[in-house]
């Protein structure tokens, strides 16, 4: 099995399995940044976890360390990211984010943000990943007080209630990043803070809330998240049993989500002359 590793780029994308570069519903990693990647081949079954951290190359981090810039926090964030994605089997990569079980996608996105924050700001204090995980959990917990008997009357009413909570009461909105990259809309911690984010980040937050509600026993039916392809719609949930064939192209898998995050991350780092 092959893993993608960096030659010089700081992006956490370098730890993604090479299969992540092959296809996505929306982006391909092969261009325009293919020159920043090289492939390391490892033996073993693709269905089992492979210790990615043993193959990590910290070329950029080593160069920064040699120039007197500490990268210990960035390295820790990279290792945290890898500890999550090495749990992805072939099946998990193609699994919808709304039913993902083995990988904490919220924490994975926060590790990407933590590495970039450390490399850009050179702060002596790391981004508090666990604190933002708690904030994400608090967002899910907040829905419990919004939840009522009417919400339980049908799957459609439940999802309408959840979206009213997320988009109306909490005020999460979609930012337009097609023509202008806005860093705070592309990193999970700033989206949680400012409540404005990319379609990918809003989909991630929606899926994390669904995950917690299922764990707490409030969600007892299968939900899929509709990932729109236009520039203004919001992610919406729908009852999976009532899905249509045309909905399949709007399903966001764990692999596609990570590719979306990484592609935007690479764009940002190139603009900042980090990649």
**pLDDT score recorded for residue 136:** 94
Task: Specify the residue for token string 């705070």.
Answer: 184
Per the CB < 8 A criterion, the answer to whether 254 and 100 are in contact is yes
Question: Cα separation of 20 and 43, whole Å?
Answer: 18
Q: Using an 8 Å Cβ cutoff, are 32 and 11 in contact?
A: no
Q: For residues 153 and 62, what is the distance between their CA atoms, to the nearest angstrom?
A: 57
Strand partners, 96: 253
Q: For the chain, what are the domain ranges? A: 69-273
* Amino acid 65: pLDDT: 77
Distances (CA, A) of 176 to 182, 231, 257: 9, 7, 18
Give the alpha-carbon dihedral of 82, 88, 93, 99, to 10 degrees.
Answer: -110
Tokens of 26: 């929306």
What distance in Å separates the CA atoms of residue 163 and residue 7, rounded to the nearest whole number?
42
Other Cβ atoms within 10 Å of 94 Cβ, number: 14
The helix, strand and coil proportions of the chain, stated in percent and rounded to the nearest 5, come to 55, 10, 35
pLDDT for the residue 269: 66
Phi-psi region of 120 (alpha: psi -120 to 50; beta: other; left: phi over 0): alpha
Report CA-CA distances (Å) from 5 to 90, 111, 143, 179, 255: 19, 17, 40, 29, 17
- Kindly report the number of other CB atoms within 10 A of residue 194's CB atom: 15
Give pTM, 2 decimals: 0.77
Look at residue 38 in the predicted model and tell me its pLDDT: 23
Where the chain has pLDDT below 50, the residues are 1-54, 179
Cα–Cα distance for residue pair 96/203, rounded to 1 Å: 11
């Amino acid at each position: 099995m092959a893993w993608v590793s960096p030659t010089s780029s700081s992006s956490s994308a370098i730890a993604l399995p090479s299969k992540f570069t092959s296809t996505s519903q929306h982006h391909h990693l092969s261009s325009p940044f293919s020159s920043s990647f090289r492939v390391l081949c490892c033996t073993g079954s693709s269905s089992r976890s492979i210790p990615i951290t043993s193959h990590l190359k910290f070329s950029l981090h080593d160069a920064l360390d040699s120039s007197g810039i500490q990268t210990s926090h960035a390295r820790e964030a990279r290792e945290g990211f890898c500890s999550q994605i090495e749990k992805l089997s072939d099946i998990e990569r193609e699994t919808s984010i709304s039913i993902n079980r083995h990988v904490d996608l919220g924490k994975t996105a926060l590790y990407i943000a933590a590495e970039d924050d450390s490399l850009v700001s050179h702060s002596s204090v790391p981004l508090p990943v666990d604190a933002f995980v708690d904030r994400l959990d608090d967002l899910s917990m907040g829905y419990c007080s919004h939840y009522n008997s009417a919400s339980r009357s049908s799957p459609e009413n439940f999802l309408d209630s959840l979206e009213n909570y997320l988009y109306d009461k909490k005020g999460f909105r979609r930012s337009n990043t097609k023509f202008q990259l806005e860093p705070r809309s592309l990193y999970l911690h700033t989206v949680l803070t400012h409540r404005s984010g990319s379609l990918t980040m809003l989909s991630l937050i929606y899926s994390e809330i669904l995950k917690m509600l299922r764990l707490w026993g409030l969600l007892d039916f299968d939900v899929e998240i509709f990932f729109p392809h236009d520039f203004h719609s919001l992610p919406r949930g729908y009852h999976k049993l009532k899905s249509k064939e045309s909905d399949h192209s709007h399903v966001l898998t764990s692999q596609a989500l990570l590719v979306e995050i990484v592609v935007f991350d690479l764009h940002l780092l190139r603009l900042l002359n980090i990649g």
